[in-house]
């Protein structure tokens, strides 16, 4: 173990921490849903199918780029926790806003609640030491 390696996997498995894994799966679903909501919001801003597709794609692409650069597990730039949470708030909150803007306020509220709970649990799970066995 002189080189710093261990036999323990970098990411906990289903058998080791099932709630962590389930919450990570939910996080992925929420991220994809936010991109879809941003696409739908951008799509609704334009006139004509080509402009609508362009605006929808641009909204989702900007959010995905922000996420990949600053908030993804393997982000290109490592921000402090506050910065990562700010990017998550912009992208995931933007998805909830997009849902609200296209006329689904109850679904937007539900998405916002899931985003906050999921993010809080994810940060709690990341800070808690793994069970030794």
Tell whether the model's pLDDT for residue 8 goes beyond 80. no
Q: Which long-range contacts (CB under 8 A, 24 or more apart) does 116-123 make?
A: 118/23, 118/26, 118/27, 118/30, 119/27, 119/85, 119/88, 119/92, 121/19, 121/23, 122/23, 122/24, 122/27, 123/81
Q: What is the pLDDT of residues 34-84, one digit of tens each?
A: 999 999 999 999 999 999 999 999 999 999 999 999 999 889 999 999 999
Per-residue model confidence (pLDDT) at position 19:
81
**pLDDT band for position 20 (cuts 50, 70, 90):** confident
Torsional sign, CA 53, 59, 63, 69: positive
pLDDT of residue 13: 52
Q: Return d(Cα 116, Cα 96) in angstroms, integer.
A: 11
How far apart CA 53 and CA 110 sit, in angstroms, is: 26
> Where in the chain are the domains?
18-127
Does the global pTM surpass 0.85? Answer: no
């Amino acid at each position: 173990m002189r080189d710093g390696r261990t036999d323990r996997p970098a990411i906990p498995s289903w058998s080791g921490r099932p709630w962590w894994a389930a919450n990570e799966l939910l996080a992925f679903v929420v991220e994809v849903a936010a991109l879809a909501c941003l696409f739908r919001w951008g799509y609704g801003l334009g006139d004509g199918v080509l402009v609508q597709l362009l605006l929808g794609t641009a909204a989702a692409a900007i959010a995905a780029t922000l996420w990949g650069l600053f908030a993804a597990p393997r982000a290109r730039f490592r921000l402090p926790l506050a910065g990562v949470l700010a990017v998550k708030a912009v992208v995931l909150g933007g998805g909830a806003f997009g849902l609200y803007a296209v006329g689904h306020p109850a679904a937007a509220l539900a998405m916002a609640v899931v985003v906050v709970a999921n993010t809080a649990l994810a940060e709690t799970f990341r800070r808690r030491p793994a069970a030794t066995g």
